[in-house]
Amino acid sequence: MCNCMNSVAEELNSKLALKVTEGGVISDTETGWDNQMLDFSVGKFHVMLNYKFAYRAKKKNGEMAKNLTRLDTVVKMSHCPFCGEKQD
């Protein structure tokens, strides 16, 4: 399995860290890939691709709802988005 996700994250961290003002502190818990999950069967982290879906529901009286109903789900990528290697 490739190490692209970690190496790209390290590159991004080093480039974005240059924008931190003097005396600023980088948050370890709020820094990294969104939708990251630990696969206990292989002991590796995977980044999941988030898919968002929104629709306006119809009310019982026939009018359209004022607000959108939002749904989302995550999809595990079968191949690395950077090098194309098949993921475990």
- Show pLDDT as tens, one digit a residue, over the chain (88 residues): 788 888 999 999 999 999 998 999 998 888 888 888 888 988 888 888 899 999 999 999 999 999 999 999 999 888 888 999 988 7
What's the pLDDT at 42?
A: 82
Largest CA distance in the chain: 58
Phi and psi at residue 7, to the nearest 5°: -70, -40
What's the pLDDT at 3?
A: 86
Statement: the pTM of the whole predicted model exceeds 0.85: no
Distance from C-alpha of 28 to C-alpha of 10, rounded to nearest angstrom: 13
What's the pLDDT at 65?
A: 94
Name the residue among 37, 29, 45 with its Cα closest to residue 73: 37
